[in-house]
Structures are given as structure tokens and as C-alpha cells.
Amino acid sequence: MFLKYFALPLLIIAVAVIYWFVSYEPAGTAMLALFGVAMALMGWILVPTFNDVGPVAPVDEDWHERRGS
């Protein structure tokens, strides 16, 4: 499961490392690396919640827009 969801962030970080050795350009390397870290962090936080269902509010039958008129 780890590799399934973290393959893209790891690939982006690998591209950042290769980009650094090819160009020695810090701004592009930093942007790529931070983007990869941000994607990994987002995946680490959000992947465990994929099957969760949040609370559902009860339906108010007396609400004016639920009435036919």
C-alpha cells in the first residue's frame, strides 16, 4: 500500500535530485522537492481516511425548500 500511494511523490523527489545534479539550480530543485514532500504529507494524512464516512445531518422535513410549494 505504501508504494501504491507514495510512488508519485517519491518519483517527484527523485526528479528533484536528478535535476539538482544536472543543473545545480536551487530554486527549481527546491520547488520540486517541496512539491514532492507536500504530496507525500498529504497522502500520509489523507490516505488513511479514504474509506471513512463522515457524520450525516438529519433531514429536516419542515424545511421550506423540502415542501412542495
pLDDT in tens, 24-61: 999 999 999 999 999 999 888 888 887 776 667 777 77
Q: What is the pLDDT of residue 67?
A: 58
Question: How far is the C-alpha of 65 from the C-alpha of 9, rounded, in Å?
Answer: 45
Q: What is the pLDDT of residue 11?
A: 94
Cβ-Cβ contacts under 8 Å for 8 (sequence gap 6 or more):
39
Q: Comparing C-alpha atoms, which of 43, 35, 58, 55 is closest to residue 2?
A: 43
Q: What is the pLDDT of residue 61?
A: 72
Question: How far is the C-alpha of 12 from the C-alpha of 18, rounded, in Å?
Answer: 10
The C-alpha angle with vertex 67 and arms to 65 and 69, in degrees rounded to 5, equals: 90
